[in-house]
Amino acid sequence: MTRFSDKTSKFTERFAPSLHSFAQKMPLSRKKDPADDDADQSPLRFHSHLDRLHIPIADNTPEQEKCDEVQDRGLFLARQERWDELSEAIRSYDTARAATATGMPMADLLLFGARADVVRAAEHSLLHGRPAKDSDFFSGVEAFEGVLMEDPENYALALIVAHMHIDIGWAWRGARANTDISDINREAFDAHFTRAADILRDFCATGLQSPALCAARCALLPGHSHPASQLVREFEGLIDLDPMNPRHMRSLGNYLLPRWYGDYAQLDLHARRIAARTYENWGAGAYTWVWFDALLVDPNGFGMIEAEYFLEGVYDILRLRKDQHTANLLAAHLFQSWQTARQRYHESGTQPELAATLKHGFEMVVRDHLREVHPLVWGHAEIGFENTARIISPDRLAQKGRETALYAVAIPFLNSLQTGQTVRFERDGITQINP
């Protein structure tokens, strides 16, 4: 029987009774149906033409399959309690900077899979006010803590347990503004983040040359009393250590929004600074990555962004990443950005050129790079990639993404479709066949 430290026992005792007081769903953001400035381009107008738009729909992409495979391996090894094998795999992937074709770190996928059972049980309990049948997530938390107690210098195990606490902390907190969080939820969030920080305190990310540890330090920033003072320094260290992973830049941009720890001017400044630091890796791409999620989360960022520079970054990213996941990611983002810019112009009359610039970029990506549709990417773009609402059904999200993508992809070819042409997307290009 494993004996737990006093700190772990007090943590468990303090927050177990408060579980049943939490049962609040997170809100979903919704976008209006898009329409073109120059003509009536409502979805109904396109519907009659879509039978002549032929583009492959990839519901299960190689990227998704690889991510699922690695996550499932982490889940399997954790369930089998093969901790040595799991730890070695995490360290090996981390040291090698191993990633999927689209840049997802494979060490992160193993870490996610390993903690998935406990985190899902916690989320179910917090969402429904009671544990799932045959589930006691506090026992799962204690079991993980016990494994770490037996091998406290194993940084891979430390990452699993620390991320477990970070995830549960976010489940308590949700994505609401600071002023909307109840005291009990804030206390639970702080307690889980404090425990995660305690676990990782003795591991030096720089000394170990570990992007996974460095990323975990960044993930802990929302639990600090003054995170803004450390934010950019921590993320710059992470980006220097792992410059080809755009997710670090995307997270930095999100945290530099006014709703978190920055403002639009700081966000734009640091997007330019990161672009300069990583120019040999990404060209202008880092400017795009830093703004990427922030623009969909907070459309007021469009008032600060330099659209031409943003598109230059899009082109540089596509020059380096030629896979269809990236093409879908950028096409879906530009489509949503174009719709938002149009709406902002109609409401305020400002930046009349922005929508046209973003539309041009969107159509370029569709014509020159997009060859198949990944529905889940488009579905996530519509609610914002950083939206943490987990109550959305993946099937429902994919169906919505499919509808949006087909409508969006048809826009550049509307005139051809109206004259009866068939538009066919193939691996080597797009053909337009006369009736």
Domain ranges of the chain: 40-58+322-435, 64-203
Instruction: Provide mean pLDDT across the span 338-362.
Output: 93
pLDDT band at 123 (very low <50, low <70, confident <90, very high): confident
Instruction: Provide mean pLDDT across the span 271-277.
Output: 97
3-state DSSP call for residue 216? helix
Instruction: Provide mean pLDDT across the span 419-435.
Output: 93
Q: Rounded CA gap, 309 and 295, in Å? A: 14
Instruction: Provide mean pLDDT across the span 91-116.
Output: 94
Q: Describe the crossing of helices 211-219 and 83-96 by its angle, rounded to 10 degrees.
A: 100
pLDDT beyond 70 at 163: yes
* Percentage of the residues of the chain whose pLDDT score is greater than 90: 69
N- to C-terminal Cα distance for the chain?
76
Q: Tell me the two tokens of residue 347.
A: 């409401």
pLDDT beyond 70 at 365: yes
Lowest mean pLDDT among 1-10, 209-218, 237-246, 314-323: 1-10
pLDDT beyond 60 at 32: no
Q: Rounded CA gap, 422 and 177, in Å? A: 48
Closest C-alpha among 411, 364, 418 to residue 36: 411
Lowest mean pLDDT among 9-23, 146-160, 350-364: 9-23
Instruction: Provide mean pLDDT across the span 270-291.
Output: 98
Q: Are 271 and 263 in contact (CB under 8 A)?
A: no
pLDDT beyond 80 at 252: yes
Q: Rounded CA gap, 188 and 415, in Å? A: 56
**102 vs 247, higher pLDDT:** 247
Lowest mean pLDDT among 47-51, 92-96, 265-269, 362-366: 47-51
Amino acid identity of residue 138, one-letter, is F
Can you name the residues that pair with 423 across neighbouring β-strands? 53, 432
Q: Are 227 and 262 in contact (CB under 8 A)?
A: no
Instruction: Provide mean pLDDT across the span 206-219.
Output: 95
Instruction: Provide mean pLDDT across the span 306-319.
Output: 98
Q: Rounded CA gap, 366 and 430, in Å? A: 10
Burial class (CB in 10 A: 0-12, 13-18, 19+), 256: buried
pLDDT beyond 50 at 356: yes
Can you name the residues that pair with 431 across neighbouring β-strands? 424
pLDDT band at 281 (very low <50, low <70, confident <90, very high): very high
Amino acid identity of residue 260, one-letter, is W
| DSSP category for residue 76 | H
pLDDT band at 26 (very low <50, low <70, confident <90, very high): very low
Burial 78-100 (b: 16+ CB within 10 A, else e): beeeebeebbebbbebbeebbbb
Can you name the residues that pair with 151 across neighbouring β-strands? none
Q: Rounded CA gap, 165 and 117, in Å? A: 13
Instruction: Provide mean pLDDT across the span 344-364.
Output: 93
Instruction: Provide mean pLDDT across the span 187-203.
Output: 95
Q: Is the dihedral of CA 394, 400, 406, 410 positive or negative?
A: negative
pLDDT at 18: 43
Q: Are 367 and 53 in contact (CB under 8 A)?
A: no
pLDDT band at 36 (very low <50, low <70, confident <90, very high): very low
Phi, psi of 367 (to 5 degrees): -70, -40
| DSSP category for residue 226 | S
Q: Tell me the two tokens of residue 426.
A: 């193939």
| DSSP category for residue 430 | E
Residues listed for the chain: 435
pLDDT at 45: 61
Mean pLDDT, the chain, whole residue set = 86
